[in-house]
Structure 1
Amino acid sequence: MAVEPWTGRTACALQKAMRLSNELFAERLGIGVRTVAGWHQKPSLTPKSEMQQLLDTAYEQASAAVRARFAEVVGEQPSAPAEPALDSAAAEQARAAAEQRLSADPHLGAALEWLDEHAGWEPGISRRKVAARLATVDAQALRDRGVLRGKVSQRQVTQALTDYYGTDLAGHGLYSARYGESGQALTSILTRPEWLDLGSHLRTEADRLKLGQGATDAPTRLDGHATDAAVRRLAETLELGTRLVNMPLYRLRTLDIERPNLGGTLGIAPFVHYALTMDLLEGELLDALASGAPTTPGQLPLRDQYLPDLAAVTALDDRLCAGGALALCAIARPSGWHGPADYVLLVQQRSGNVLNANRQLAVIPKGFHQPVTDLRADTPVGATLLREMEEELFGRDDIDNTIGDQRSADPMHPSRLSEPMQWLMTRPFGQRLWLECTGFGLNLVSGNYEFASLIVIQDEEFWDRYGGQIEANWESSNLRRYSTLDPELLTELLDDVTWSNEGLFAILQGIRTLAEIGGQRVNLPSVEWELK
């Protein structure tokens, strides 16, 4: 049966059919308990459109037995007159206020244009739809949903994706590792033996990704569910103040990795394409896991459309395959009050204001693989890592494209580098600074490509000079440091269930490599990878 529209009475009937308390029903929907209590107090209330969709989804995903009980409960209760809707003047006023908020954000215009084009709409339709959705967004419900998403562990995500895609991975496998005495990790990173332990020295001839001919965006046509999800993302982005800037991204079109060389061709895609399509897969999965809903094929509409099977995952040129580079950063530290000479390892907890790996543990730096000013010269993986070091560790706000427009012809020119980076770059690579790609994989969470890397600052004088100047930017909620001579604490870190899959992949591969080259500065948990 169709429920159109939901009221407080029918929402409570669904709760009763599911035999859930207020708390469990709220958790199932990803909303606040106060909202559920309000439905009981005002049975004639018509929930906002955001709630209507959540209730629709809960009903559609319910078992036949629950639906049967729901029909019985609704039949038992007397009908109640619906609460009057907003009069036309009030509704128009709410839409006008939402339109004004949209117009005040200079970065949403490109997203709205992109959505009109790919949804097949006349110009301006997406603006009206987003404004209408924004006028009904419940900010507290969004924050409650964020809390629930944060409770879903990396292991739950990996298991759900394993169940979704199966175990026949056509020559690939999911990256798994045993570490320490009994630790074991399984990630959602799809990889191959020849993509691991690469030993690729970045900023050398081995770092050879190239911009391909006809470097255009991937073709995309949005269906009804996809357009609704995109509209919802834009409205929620504006309501929560999440940063969304339409800078170009590299998209991986072909791959040619032959140890130690990184090869392949790249195209260009607008960031809004990623934000309104592939980046929505993670939220869809987390919401299902948080609510206990099924995550099998046919139950995740966006994943079923964009990334339905392993053939789609590996068909790089047929889809948008964006991605990035992330690195375990190890900084040599002289002996002192902390003990013998070691390396300091840096780990971040991602901010709630980022689109990628929101509120999760990750290595630092971590950034999208994207050009800054030169589409061809910025293709090497090492170029992204150096830029991210400047931005995320050394405080270069002028190369953060989420803060302002990029007007410098060469933001990484030696004369513009931060003092710490200038000091590192006054010696050839390998003397003070070492960059190495340790592994490559495709992340099943959103289909992203991941270049796991290791950054080693080898000269311990750096820590004395600049250790106090290292400070994470807005993308991190906190920054942690660990000693490479503390295997027990590092093992506990690897056990943490809040890791992002790509972050866990990078730190495991980084520790594995650092154990081989770190000498007496390291006493690290052993790491042995395997493919599941």
Structure 2
Amino acid sequence: MDSVTGWTGRTACALQAALRLSNEAFAELLGVGVRTVASWHQKPSLRPKSEMQQLLDTAFEQAPEPVRTRFAALSGATDDSAPNDAEERLTADPNIGAALEWLDEHGGWQAGSARREVARRLGQVDVRRLEDRASRRSRVNQREIADALSSYYGDRPDGYGCYATEHAATSILTRPEWLDLDCSLIGTTERLALATSSNETPSLDDEAAGRAAQRLAESLARGTRLVNMPLYRMLSADIHDGQIGGSLGVAPFVHYALTMDLLEAEMTDALAAGEDPAPGSTPLRDRYLPDVASVLDLSGRLCAGGTLALCAFARPADPFRGPADYVLLVQERSGHVINATRKLAVIPKGFHQPMTDYRADARLGATLRREMEEELFGREDIDNTLADQRTADPMHPSRLSDAMRWLFDAPGRLRMECTGFGLNLVSGNFEFAGLIVVEDEEFWARFGGLIEANWESSTLRQYSTLDRSLLTELMSDVAWSNEGLFALLQGLRRLGQIGGDRVDLPMIEWEMR
């Protein structure tokens, strides 16, 4: 085979596999960023731009004959090549291997049983049917999910309710003491601490184990990347005005991916089929999160989660745009993320997880700073879905992006607060809503044109805090994820208190439903 016409993400990855190069080495060979190579793995149907096509042509033409032979074998089919790739991952991907071992152990299966079961199911997966199902799921909106969960968990203790406003209702179970926290995440007011991890060893019944195996088979068939990084799990919470406290343990990501993360799809599929997802009709939810008592039993279940923040950057007056304001950033999540797929969300948004210092990274501010670097400022080296983490101190001042370094060079340039806390009834996740404000207009002048979302976003939108009508419309958009809407509303509420003449925001009053 002498050349390739019309490179796609899939054939580019086939060339990488034929060359037997890591993401980093392949990116270096082509002279592109690691994020670009990772995007080909995330989006096999992606067709690179013409200049990238030429780089891939050159790499192929300069490859020795054994590499071309391997490439021909790897890319010899189009749609049929996906199962071959999947079968290779089933054998060689260490993250899939970790998931299979976890499933063997917690499903009570003999070693190797999970691999055989996933392989069997993989052979039965029809990728086109998966795409059709994804399309049906996308028609189920945020309000429908919130209403269904409010009905499912209708019996709530006094003082608890689902967060709502005049404009929207959400699936975030919260209480008044957990809202309007005004808690700085740069200081001593945040006291989440690492505790001894629980020795919980959940056992899966046949239904739960089968659903977990199906999740792995479908992930392999679609080329979805699964990385078994550690996640913080919440064991206790002590949260009130101006103070965040509680204890955290650590759990492997595969535990979450094969249990709690399956609940949203089960609920959405029922709604897409026109069914009433009531207790007794949702086997996984009935098992893992059957009532509000189980939702609140943090230490008795897996309660993973994260933090997300509304970002507001001060901008100077402009003769075309108008008076000085804040620009707000909103993302539409890509179809390749594990959480809030194709939904609107604030940015940054990430799982609360450690990098290298498990105790220091337990602070929410550590996760938000990392997510800013990764999702807004282009730090590919701290994205553990792209490459293994080998740096002793990834957030050392010498490694920070120019934008982040500028923010911390002088006090007062960055305000980072937690505005609210709740438990998401979708999957039981803990959700810390935040607000990030850059007060100095110089930041936007210096770095505004360099801000670019990573592969987790399909689009990035901006809104002015002086555009009351457009923000009112945004708050009512049913394309939001529930946690994203929670963070948006709480962030706008706080920004209305501190923003001065830069803001003209709709009135937002929360209530418990």
TM range (shorter): 0.7 to 0.9
Letter in 2 for 1:436: E
The corresponding residue for 1:197 is 180
Q: How does 1:71-220 map to 2 (within 5 A)?
A: 99-178=87-166, 184-212=167-195, 214-216=196-198, 218-220=200-202
In structure 2, distance between residues paired with 1:155 and 1:167: 20
Choose the corresponding residue for 2:266, options 260, 284, 287.
284
In the other structure, the counterpart of 1:261 is 243
SS of 2:373's equivalent in the other structure is helix
Query: Does the CA contact (< 8 Å) of 1:98 and 1:135 recur in 2?
Result: no
Secondary structure of the corresponding residue to residue 238 of structure 1: helix
| Letter paired with 1:399 | I
TM-score by length of 1: 0.80
1:336-372 deviation per Cα after TM superposition (whole angstroms, max 9, x unaligned): 1211110000000111101100111100000000000
In the alignment, the residues of structure 2 paired with residue 482 and residue 439 of structure 1 have an alpha-carbon distance, to the nearest angstrom, of 22
Report the equivalent of 1:450. 431
Displacement over 6 Å in runs of 4+: 94-97
Answering whether residue 281 of structure 2 is matched by residue 293 of structure 1, we say no
Q: Are residue 414 (structure 1) and residue 402 (structure 2) matched?
A: no
Following superposition of structure 1 onto structure 2, how do residues 336-351 of structure 1 map, counting pairs within 5 Å?
336=318, 337-351=320-334
- SS of the counterpart of 2:190? coil
Aligned residues: 431
Distance 1:460 1:306, change over 3 A: same
Q: Which residue of 1 aligns with 2:348?
A: 365
1:386 equivalent to 2:369? Answer yes
Mark the structure with the bigger radius of gyration. 1
Specify the alignment match of 2:58 in structure 1: none
Residue type matched to 2:256 in 1?
Y
Instruction: Give 1:492-507 correspondences, 5 Å limit.
Output: 492-507=473-488
> 1:100 Cα shift?
3.1
Q: Distance in 1 between matches of 2:416 and 2:284?
A: 37
Shift of 1:103: 1.7
Cα distance in 1, alignment partners of residues 382 and 107 from structure 2: 33
Pair 1:248-2:243 in alignment: no
- For residues 504 and 95 of structure 1, do their structure 2 counterparts lie closer, same or farther at Cα, with a shift above 3 Å needed? closer
Question: Once the 2 structures are TM-superposed, how far is the Cα of residue 106 of structure 1 from its aligned partner?
Answer: 3.1
1-side partners of 2:85 and 2:333: how far apart?
32
Does structure 1 conserve the Cα–Cα contact (< 8 Å) formed by 2:475 and 2:485? Answer: yes
The 2-side partners of 1:371 and 1:395 are apart by 19
Could you tell me how far 1:96 is from its partner in structure 2? 8.8
Q: Give the residue type in structure 1 aligned to 2:355.
A: V
What SS does the aligned partner of 2:191 have?
coil
Alpha-carbon offset, residue 122 of structure 1: 1.2
1:317 matched to 2:299? The reply is yes
Residue 502 (structure 1) shift:
0.4
In 1, the alpha carbon distance for the partners of 2:338 and 2:316 equals 37
Match for 2:314 among 319, 332, 345? 332
Q: Secondary structure at the match of 1:421?
A: helix
Consecutive unaligned residues in structure 2, runs of 5 or more: 1-81
Contact 1:330–1:344, Cα closer than 8 Å, also in 2: yes
The separation in 2 between residues aligned to 1:363 and 1:240, in whole angstroms, is 26
What is the Cα deviation at residue 259 of structure 1? 1.6
Note if contact 1:350-1:357 (Cα within 8 Å) is conserved in structure 2. Answer: yes
For 2:297 and 2:247, the matched residues in 1 are separated by 14
Contact 2:86/2:221 (<8 A) preserved: no
Distance change in 2, residues 1:126/1:95 (3 Å): farther
SS of the residue 1:239 aligns to? helix
Query: In structure 2, what residue type is equivalent to 1:352?
Result: G
Q: Secondary structure at the match of 2:509?
A: strand
User: In 2, distance between residues paired with 1:160 and 1:433?
Assistant: 39
What pairs up with 1:440-519 in 2 under 5 angstroms? 440-519=421-500
The Cα of 1:265 is off from its aligned counterpart by: 0.3
Structure-2 separation of matches of 1:109 and 1:185: 42
Per the TM alignment, residue 238 of structure 1 is displaced from its structure 2 partner at its CA by: 1.2
1:167 deviates by 4.2
Counterpart Cα distance in 2 of 1:417 and 1:142 = 40
What SS does the corresponding residue of 2:156 show, helix, strand or coil?
Answer: coil
Contact 2:267 2:282 in 1 (8 A): yes
- Residues 399-419 of structure 1: CA distance to partner in whole angstroms, max 9, x if unpaired? 001001000001000000011
